[in-house]
Amino acid sequence: MPKTHPKPAITIIASRKEFASRAATVRRVLASSLSALKQENAALEAYLVTNEEMRMLNMAFRGKDCPTNVLSFEAKGFPRADAGTRAYLGEIYLAPKVIKDKKEDIRLLAAHGLLHLLGYTHETERDRMRMERAEDRLLARAKRS
């Protein structure tokens, strides 16, 4: 009997109805990326938020009084009762309007946010290059799935 892998638990929450159409895209990229990264037994939440909501988060956590495209908050081992036996990775916040205005790719930013939850950074040139290579691999895989 073939061994089956659990599906990751991905919760997508859209704060506005108009963001709901992006939820399936974000879910698909995150699921594909978690599989590629051998993180099938993971749980995470992704929020699609307004510019104002993102501005408030950016101010509260980074001291920057402007909206940004993506923010990630690692769980760092913090358990979640509703995650069950899954490893809870944390939360990703995406601002679809910021992303659209900047002509960015929400798929890339979802993968970027996930990599931050897994400890990737872009503080140094080496870290940035490592993260960009990982993003490229994850997007290529997501496009095939």
What are 102-119's pLDDT values in tens digits?
999 999 999 999 999 999
Count the residues in the chain.
145
The answer to whether 60 and 46 have CB atoms below 8 angstroms apart is: no
Phi-psi region at 121: left, alpha or beta (left = phi > 0; alpha = psi -120 to 50): beta
pLDDT in tens, 10-42: 999 999 999 988 999 999 999 999 999 998 888
Domains detected in the chain = 9-144 (3.40.390.30)
| Token couple for 89 | 């990775």
- Say what the pTM is: 0.89
